[in-house]
Amino acid sequence: MTKNEIAERLEEIAVLLELKGENPFKIRAYGAGARVLESLETDEFEQLVADEKLDSIKGVGTALAQKIGELHATGELEFLTELRASIAPGLVEMLEVPGLGAKKIKAIHDKLGVDTIAGLAEACADGRVADLAGFGAKSQEKIAEGIRNREAYGKRHLWWLANEVAQPIVSGLRARPEVERAEAAGSLRRGMETVGDLDFIVGSSDPAPVMTWFCELPEVKEITARGETKSSVRFESGLQADLRIVPPAQFVFALHHFTGSKDHNVAMRQRALERGKSLSEWGLVPAKGDGTAKEKAERGESVEVADEAGLFGELGMSFVPPALREGLGEIEAAEAGELPSLVALSDLKGAFHNHTTSSDGRNTLAEMVAAAEQRGWAYLGIADHSKASFQANGLDETRLRKQIAEIRELNGSGRFKTHVFAGSEVDILTDGALDFSDELMAELDYVVASVHNALTQSEADMTKRIIRAVENPHVTMLGHPTGRLLLRREASKADLSKIIDAAIANDTIIELNASPWRLDLDWRWWRKAADRGLICAINPDAHECDGLDHVAAGINSARKGWLQPHHILNTRSLKDVRTCFARKSSV
């Protein structure tokens, strides 16, 4: 088991012990142990294990060292297995309800005897939670709302996670000898931030073995419908998937239909009708004549197209990328030949909002830069948290100055081809002031200003707060503007139109935070804002090396927002980014 996986297990032990109300010193020892591991370089850690010297690390006693050793060697820990078994699963589930930590869950369990989410919902409904010491009516309402959201949200899934399930299945389908073509359609293909279910489309003249293969995938937990050409299944995670198998000649029409969106399809069908044709999942057939569209297609009356570009071509349009198929003017633009040349992942030359072990990241500065270099990036911005984010181990002035010096030295050393920009993710305090002085910010290459606390301020206060930060001449870009966490936390209330106006007026960039849990600012705002001159930075907000790859999720959203390379700061060369940063920091 790797160092970071072991750290996760130790965190889990700390939470489970807290649920059991164990001795606080014991709990803290596991939490501290996890953080110590995170701060070690991988080589360093492996050496300590090999030398059996784990207990020489400050804060790691003999017992903990022994447990880490066991996890490292076997990937398992009897102590943890028994601990998990000793706690009601409902209590662990309650940790997913926003606003409920281990301490509160224990109080609810001890005083009300509640150990399921359903029981907790009941206790909220009849007011027993509000009566508990330390809770009150407000926190009871928050818990009840959290449970309701959890149910509603349980029905959708993050794009990133859905895609991780879908891609191996697409590859598996394509590898089958009976399969001519296979694709994942639906909201996944359109790059929506969340996905309801997966929609696989296959072109094959021999559906039976393909259907059997799909329904017998090891990750299938339940087959909800099974037919010769269409089946639906549910995976372990709750994610559902439809598979439709069509004759190869129909593949393109089915792919287009089931990619959607519904609004796009309605507009496309309307357009076909205006040309005397009927468009459906079966084909593109003459509107006149006997029978349904399906029957006409089966009689061979459909035009033949090799790919989707051919289908759009039949209707006098250029190819509309799936990202744009939301019925938001893409049909008119495609007809006029005015579709944007959308930004692509290969256009990115770096990113600016990334963390290291100096704050709450899991990899060191050097590890992060090596990972950026591996991805061929010309530059990497480091923006660790500032001191007000103490829960994320934010840097104070002294530690930040030390980090700036380290970054300058690294750049000077020529060790990496990737240039490192010294930045900071500076907290926007509740009144809109920034967590660092103008003098210190002037020493940085750039500043990402973000809200991390008091997320529930009134719309007026939050708007004023963010605009004040956006107007600060040292602020290069605004980080995750609404603070939303997809499927978990609603966006803060703020007047985004006013904030965008202020950003444009002050030459401040707005981030498209590419973390699959955020995708903030949402794609629906970008088209209009970029038209008016707003510059976007696609930032992975990476907390570990692999997190850099999250820029792919940001690219999805940017494309949905009709963004082109020139709208995005991190498509520019190192030289041009320097020029852009210099304009702000010299103020």
Which residues of the shown chain bind Zn ion in the complex (CB under 5 A)?
450
Q: Does 208 bind ligand DGT (CB under 6 A)?
A: no
**Position of minimal CB gap to ligand DGT:** 260
Q: Does 199 bind Ca ion (CB under 5 A)?
A: yes
Q: Across the strands, what pairs with 562?
A: none
Do 541 and 551 form a contact (C-beta atoms < 8 A)? no
Q: Does 193 bind Ca ion (CB under 5 A)?
A: no
Sites for Ca ion among residues 214-253 (CB under 5 A): 242
Binding footprint of ligand DGT, residue count (CB under 6 A) = 14
Q: Does 135 bind ligand DGT (CB under 6 A)?
A: no
Cβ nearer to Ca ion, comparing 133 with 225: 225
Min dist CB 231 to ligand DGT, Å, is: 14
Q: How far apart are CA 265 and CA 259, in angstroms?
A: 9
Do 384 and 395 form a contact (C-beta atoms < 8 A)? yes
**Binding partner of residue 258 among Zn ion, Ca ion, ligand DGT, none, CB cut-off 5 to 8 Å per kind:** ligand DGT
Q: Is the peptide bond before 450 cis (omega within 30 degrees of 0)?
A: no
Number of other CB atoms surrounding residue 36 within 10 Å: 19
Element (H, E) at 292: none
| Phi, psi torsion values for 358, nearest 5 degrees | -65, -35
Q: Does 159 bind ligand DGT (CB under 6 A)?
A: no
Cβ nearer to Zn ion, comparing 384 with 445: 384
Q: How far apart are CA 61 and CA 389, in angstroms?
A: 29
Which one of residues 38, 183, 193, 197 is an interface residue with ligand DGT (CB under 6 A)? 197
Min dist CB 208 to ligand DGT, Å, is: 24
Q: How far apart are CA 312 and CA 322, in angstroms?
A: 12
Cβ nearer to Zn ion, comparing 363 with 450: 450
- Segment interacting with ligand DGT, rule: CB under 6 A, options 186-194, 306-314, 327-335, 408-416: 186-194
Cβ nearer to Ca ion, comparing 197 with 427: 197
Signed CA dihedral, 313, 315, 317, 321: sign only:
negative
Exposed / middle / buried, residue 323 (Cβ in 10 Å: 0-12, 13-18, 19+): buried
Min dist CB 457 to Zn ion, Å, is: 17
SS3 199: strand
Q: Does 326 bind Ca ion (CB under 5 A)?
A: no
Q: Does 425 bind ligand DGT (CB under 6 A)?
A: no
Which one of residues 123, 135, 165, 186 is an interface residue with ligand DGT (CB under 6 A)? 186
Q: How far apart are CA 202 and CA 210, in angstroms?
A: 9
Q: Across the strands, what pairs with 181?
A: 203
Min dist CB 265 to ligand DGT, Å, is: 4
Min dist CB 479 to Zn ion, Å, is: 5
Closest to 186 in 3D by CA, of 196, 177, 176: 196
Q: How far apart are CA 434 and CA 473, in angstroms?
A: 11
Closest to 410 in 3D by CA, of 398, 399, 422, 401: 422
Per-residue binding letters, 257-286, with ligand DGT (x by CB under 6 A): xx-xxx--xx--------------------
Q: Does 247 bind ligand DGT (CB under 6 A)?
A: no
Q: Which amino acid is at 393?
A: N
Binding residues for ligand DGT, rule: CB under 6 A, are 186-187, 192, 195-197, 199, 257-258, 260-262, 265-266
Binding residues for Ca ion, rule: CB under 5 A, are 186-187, 197, 199, 242
